[in-house]
A and B are shown apart, each in its own frame.
Chain A
């Protein structure tokens, strides 16, 4: 039976260059109480493309990702995944769309009562009932091997480092073969070597899987490494969007200041 997601994919209109926007955010507004977080943001990402959303802490970068995943509801504007507006969808219908999305949380958000392997197996156990136990085990090992964690299957999240937790979180995010990958500060809190490894890993995954990715970060170096396009947020608005060179040549004071601080 065709899911809402499948129908939406068929209905999605391809853009002029033949590649449809997988994620399209239009005029998105979000406030918490009297505090305005996002003030009419519009962004889009296509298949095989990585957009890095930059900005200082508290500028609404993480909120943007949560809105795209449907963990928050926008005050106004739309979030379209393959053309389907997800605002107001019931949790189970939203779930059908979320199956095609992988999310790496800033602090990995691993289930602390489950082992590394069980964390990665969790989405598979719920959504891939067609897999036998041994097939699921093999898939978990393969996913953990992709992120270099194949030797830590039985460890608990509390027994591994922050960088390793992010790798496991990434393996879990990839478990259902997502078409969209959302990464919230993938290198935050990591040492430069671990950050570089995570960046390499993301690049490798992008090459192999051709997902549409949005990376929220305040690490310009990491953004330059893994993203095709960059967008700088400030006070709930997109200040500039384009390639790194566009940012470098920009005359906007805030952009200059941001690049200088990095």
Chain B
């Protein structure tokens, strides 16, 4: 019996949406197939989420694996996130100086840079970078473990794979995203100020004072901590895609791709909701 015919990890029906869809299209049943596939995917995600939640909140807790994942998600993403934040800071600095000069509002530069980086670009860039690096990594790692029966071996050793593999990775993403966002923000502000000061001398103290003038915690904390939701989305989608994989090397590649594509897509869609939520409740 080939492994591809199995339906675990425990109860999730592995699906190959592309193939199923193709088969249904051939049968002249495309719209029904797409709708079914859509609901099937979300239904499976719901079941998976419930299993992870239930496993995650009940002992024994996998502290050692959580710490390993915090390092994997946090420390190892830091250089990439810092670099991306730095680049964004320079880009915003260049664009803002040009635009503000046209309207005679150069004095607004520090505020524009601070708000652009912390409220908009820092969180979303961090989310997308982590989705690419960590989402793909988790998706590929778990998929590879799935197709080589390593996840079954974990189950066979009487260890709950939802607790050991999924809950720890998802929690690590949730905890690390806000911290990485702070790092991206810091590097963005630093390089933005540096790029500006090369053209027009401005002390860092002055830049910070002017940029944060009149700012409240409500202006900066919600956009930073909303990235915990990004972390949930990235971790959940990647673990789900990885643990439902089938089909050998091709399946592993598909899981990694889907983890990034779906993770990034849902992250951007969630941002729409989160921005509106923040505007309604925190401004």
Contact = CB atoms under 8 A, between A and B. Distances in A.
Contact of B159 (A37, A95, A105, A110): A95
A71 B159 contact: no
Contacts of B159: 95, 123, 126
Contacts of B29: none
Contact of B1 (A62, A70, A126): A62
A91 B162 contact: yes
Size category of the binding interface on chain B? 20 to 34
A246 to B, nearest CB: 26
B27 interface: no
Given A58-B1, A123-B158, A91 B150 contact: no
Interface residues of A, number: 38
Interface in A104-156: 105, 107, 109-112, 122-123, 126-127
A245 interface: no
B149 A105 contact: yes
Given A58-B1, A91-B10, A111-B150, A69 B58 contact: no
Contacts of B156: 69, 71, 98, 101, 103, 105, 173
B163 to A, nearest CB: 9
A73 B11 contact: yes
Contacts of A32: 5-7
B268 interface: no
Contacts of B55: 91-92
Given A98-B155, A98-B158, A172-B157, A92 B58 contact: yes
Contact of B148 (A92, A94, A103, A112): A112
A89 B88 CA distance: 51
B6 A66 contact: yes
A71 B152 contact: yes
A99 interface: yes
Interface centre among A37, A69, A91, A109 (most CB of B within 10 A): A91
A72 interface: yes
A41 to B, nearest CB: 14
Given A62-B1, A72-B8, A107 B157 contact: no
Contacts of B60: 126
B1 A60 contact: yes
Interface in A81-107: 91-92, 94-96, 98-99, 101, 103, 105, 107
Contacts of B162: 91
A95 B55 CA distance: 12
B160 A109 contact: no
Contacts of A46: none
Interface centre among A73, A92, A127, A173 (most CB of B within 10 A): A92
A105 B153 contact: yes
Interface string B109-153: 000000000000000000000000000000000000100111011
Interface in A44-88: 57-58, 60-63, 66, 69-73
Interface in B151-184: 152-153, 155-160, 162
A109 B1 contact: no
A176 interface: yes
Contacts of B153: 103, 105, 109-111, 172
A175 B158 CA distance: 12
Interface in B28-76: 51, 55, 58, 60
Given A105-B152, A109-B152, A111-B150, A95 B158 contact: yes
A57 B51 CA distance: 34
A72 B148 contact: no
A72 B152 CA distance: 10
Nearest to B157: A123
B158 A96 contact: yes
12 contacts: A37-B1, A37-B5, A60-B1, A63-B1, A63-B6, A71-B8, A107-B149, A110-B153, A112-B148, A126-B60, A126-B159, A127-B157
Given A69-B156, A72-B6, 15 more contacts: A63-B1, A66-B152, A69-B155, A71-B155, A72-B7, A92-B55, A92-B58, A92-B160, A98-B156, A103-B156, A105-B149, A105-B156, A109-B153, A126-B157, A175-B157
